[in-house]
Structures are given as C-alpha cells and as structure tokens.
Amino acid sequence: MRDKKLADLPEGSENPLNAAVSTRDRSVVQMATDAVKHKQCKLAFQPVMQAHAPHGVAFYEGFIRVLDETGRVIPARDFMPQVENTPIGRELDCVALEMGLRTLARNPSIRLSINMSARSIGYARWSGVLDRFLKRDASVGERLILEISESSAMQVPDLVVDFMDRLQERGIAFALDDFGASNFSFRHFREFLFDAAKVDGQFIRGISDNPDNQALVRALIAVAREFEILVTAESVETQQDAAFLIANGVDCLQGFLFGAPSVTPPWKQEPHSKTGT
C-alpha cells in the first residue's frame, strides 16, 4: 500500500509528501512576503446584514487579500494558515488594519470589521498604526470592529482581556470569530466582554435541514444572549437557512446570499437585496 511504501523509505530520506507540503508552504509564505513588500495587498468587503427591519447593512467585513506574481487575487484561506504564526502574519495584520482604517476615514457612513490575530497585540507596528489613525480622528475607532477567533483568543487569554479593556475605552468593538468551532469556555465570556459573536459557518450552511446543527446554534445563541452579545451567523447561503436563523434570534446575517467578498467596495455598487423572508 502507498502508506507502507512511505513508511519503508530508508532512514534519513525525506518523506515525499512532507517534502511537497513543505515546498508548498515555503512558496505560500514567499508569495505573501512579496505581496507585503511590493504593496500588492487589498481588502475584499462583504456586507453583514441586519436580520430584522429595516434589513439594511449593519457593517462590512474586510478580508485581507494578496496578489500573486500574475496579479491574481488570492483569498486569505489560501495563505493565512501558513503565515498566521510567522512574522509575515503580523505584517499582514498591520496591512489589513491600515487599509481598514483608511477605508473608515474615507467613508464616514460605514462600520467595518477587520480580522486580527492575538499574536499581533504586542506588535509595535500594529499598535502604531492604530494610534496614528485614532489621533487623527477618534471617531474612526467608534466604527471599527476587531475580530479575533476563538482559537487565537485562547492562546493568550489574559493578554486579550487586557487589550480589549484598553481599546473598548476608545470606542472600538470586538467580535468573537468562529464561535462554536473550538474549546472556548463559556465562562470566558465574563472575562472577555465581547460585543459580538459570529457563529462559525460550518454550523450554518444547510442548517434548515440539519437538526443537530439547529440544536447547537440555538444553544450558542442562548449563551450569547445571556451575556448581551450581538449574534451574527456566517456563511448564510439560502433563504431557507436565513429564515431559520431569523426565527431563532440572530441579529445579523453574512454570506453569499447577500453578497460575496469584493475588492470593489459594495457601498459604491447597487444596493443589496434585503433579508426579509
């Protein structure tokens, strides 16, 4: 069998599969490094819709994108896992934050969420970018939402709690990303004081036909409600799923049903269809 052949390689020889993965990862890291160096990065914006009247855009999420050597736009899922825990991951967080703050400064009528890793909390350049923009216009912070994933928050929980406490005083809101996807303890809600939680898309896609996910999402919504946390459902792709989520109390909906992430700002395009179901 194939696995046996790999296992029978002479000691000291490199596993071909591991070698291929390692080569791919190095290539991805280099692509991201070159994109940052040559300023070949963009934000792709996706609307997050109000689940209830007036069914407008609650805010937009800005996703970091890089351009490869051919100019193709590469989504974060194709490079972030390889770079998240590297120095270039910190640089990408800085780039995303700076582009997001610049977008907010130029468009005073919108709110915008930006993803960040907890590893960037102590990164001097990241803090410097934020301070620079807030000194120019403090109101920008009041329209900024920082998204931190469950897994990232739990790496350094004490640091995250202190960080959130300091920045919430400056008007910045925080969203717990990928809610339900990892071992985030419910007791931590008392400590973190997130303003919002985004239920992970793996539980949302096809939820109208999945009793197990229905029960889980109802439980997640109930927990969030106990702590007065706004609930957003990610990866909403059908009207049936949207109808279930609205009936069960989510506050906002995000997904391809309302628009894919676009490097062309949606607020400069035609208005999105409303969520009424």
pLDDT tens for 167-215 read 999 999 999 999 998 766 667 777 888 999 999 999 999 999 999 999 9
Q: Which two tokens stand for residue 266?
A: 């949606």
| Confidence label for 130 from pLDDT (cuts 50, 70 and 90) | very high
Express as a percent the part of the chain with pLDDT over 90: 70
Q: What is the DSSP letter of 250?
A: -
pLDDT-derived band at 2 (thresholds 50, 70, 90) equals very low
pLDDT at 199: 97
Q: Tell me which CATH code domain 2-268 carries.
A: 3.20.20.450
> Tens digit of pLDDT for each residue in 43-95?
999 999 999 999 999 999 999 999 988 989 998 888 888 888 889 999 999 99
In angstroms, rounded to a whole number, what is the distance separating the alpha carbons of residues 164 and 144? 13
Is the model's pLDDT at 106 over the cut of 80?
yes
| Strand stretches in 87-246, DSSP E | 112-115, 144-149, 173-179, 196-199, 230-233
For the chain, the average pLDDT equals 88
Q: Where does residue 166 rank: exposed (0-12), middle (13-18), buried (19+ CB within 10 A)? A: exposed
* HSE of 270, CA atoms in CB hemisphere, 13 A: 4
Give the model's confidence band at 5: pLDDT under 50 very low, under 70 low, under 90 confident, else very high: very low
* pLDDT, mean of residues 202-231: 96
pLDDT value of residue 16: 58
* pLDDT of amino acid 150: 86
User: In angstroms, what CA-CA distances link 33 with 20, 37, 66, 114, 117?
Assistant: 20, 6, 10, 20, 17
Higher-confidence residue of 177 and 273: namely 177
